[in-house]
Amino acid sequence: MPAETDPLIEAAPARHASTLELQFHRFRKNRLAMLSVWILALIVVACFLGPFLFPFTGQDADFDNIAAPVDLFSAHPFGTDDFGRDLLVRVLEGGRVSLTIGFLGAVVAGVIGVFYGAVSGFVGGRVDGLMMRLVEILFGFPYVILVILLSLLFGGGNVALFAAIVFTLWLTPAVVVRAQAQGLARKEFVEAARAGGMTGRHIVLEHIVPNSLSVVIVYGSLLVPEVILSESFLSFLGIGIKEPQASWGNLIQTGTTAMATDLRLLLLPGTLLAVVLFCLNFIADGLAEAFDPNDR
């Protein structure tokens, strides 16, 4: 009786497939995660390209159509706000800001955390102890107070918000990668690299970081919704993005003040934010199933 064959191996190309290729193939078999990828891609394209389809920006006021209602066949298909600004364009432009901060912040925080954790776990000893003490101190620092202090330092605005988010969110990837690096530092191929005269910097870059890639992808996918939610929450509180620039956070804050009179101002940015967060969480779950060896 022939031995059973792993369906992942059968579906792989004829040549020897790498572990990363098999993991991505496993991810593509998750229908909910792939549907979330397509929905998220459509929202991203709409936010970044959609505003260019209109002859006005989200800050331009149409004084002849102040607080205009929904009319899909008019110049303002989702109406305007109390200042005559097109609601759809403002929500798309706000989404561009929130998504940019979300993805860029997650990448920067992830890169800092990965290299910090890889160096800490590989070097070990007192250096590792000192580096982890710094992480513990920063973990205990109140998040909102940090944002306020950085806002005062940078004069407020997008730079302060971005710096505060990155400064806080690189800590978790650093702890995760450090644990991975501690195990990899004792592997035979790392000992062989040391014996061959490879420097510590090259070992970290060529062995520790690449072999931590699966864990980095899983935990990095969780950073994006966290950054987007942090930006929206802080902008909602009035600490982050401020008028007249739009973000989903300050649009939702404006919508909550007008719930009794105009629910559109809350529903459109709130719905898009909720859909994006759901998609990112489903994608993160799919990546965890496909990439995290502890889940298989």
DSSP letter for 68, please.
-
Is 120 within 8 Å of 132 (Cβ atoms)?
yes
Is 2 domain-assigned?
no
Q: What is the pLDDT of residue 11?
A: 45
Residue 150: give the domain boundaries.
21-51+84-295
pLDDT of 10 > 60? The answer is no
The residue whose two tokens read 């191929």 is 189
pLDDT of 38 over the 90 cut: yes
What pLDDT is stored for residue 138 in this prediction?
Answer: 83
119 in Cβ contact with 207 (< 8 Å) = no
Q: What is the mean pLDDT of residues 200-227?
A: 78
Tokens representing 216?
């980095």
Residue ranges of E strands in the chain: none
Both tokens assigned to 144: 């909102």
Give, to the nearest 10 degrees, the angle between helix 213-236 and helix 19-28: 50
Apex 222 CA angle, 20 and 39, nearest 5: 85
Tell whether 111 is covered by a domain: yes
Answer yes or no: is pLDDT of 141 > 60.
yes
Range in 85-99, 211-225, 245-259 the model is least confident about:
211-225
Band (pLDDT 50/70/90 cuts) for residue 20 is low
Say if residue 15's pLDDT is above 60. Answer: no
Whether the pLDDT of residue 199 is over 80: the answer is no
Q: Which is more confidently placed, 16 or 186?
A: 186
pLDDT digit string (tens) for 94-130? 999 889 888 888 888 888 988 898 888 888 888 888 9
Burial environment of residue 227 by CB neighbours within 10 A (0 to 12, 13 to 18, 19 or more): buried
- Measured CA to CA, the distance from residue 12 to residue 210 in angstroms comes to 22
Neighbouring CB atoms inside 10 A of 41's CB total 11
- Asked if residue 186 is part of any domain, the answer here is yes
Give the pLDDT of residue 292.
61
> Does residue 56 sit within a domain?
no
Indicate which CATH number applies to the domain containing 104: 1.10.3720.10
Averaged pLDDT for residues 145-159:
71
Establish if 71 belongs to a structural domain: no
155 inside domain: yes
What does the alpha-carbon distance between residue 230 and residue 101 come to, in Å, rounded to a whole number? 10
Q: How many domains does the chain have?
A: 1
What's the whole-model pTM score? 0.79
- C-alpha of 120 from chain center: 24
Cis peptide before 244 (omega within 30 of 0): yes
**End-to-end CA, the chain:** 27
Percent over 90 (pLDDT), the chain: 14
Backbone angles phi, psi at 39, to 5 degrees: -65, -45
Higher pLDDT, 136 or 198: 136
Residue 180 lies in a domain: yes
Is the residue at 11 inside a domain? no
Is the per-residue pLDDT at 204 higher than 60? Answer: yes
Q: In whole numbers, what is the pLDDT of the chain averaged over residues?
A: 81
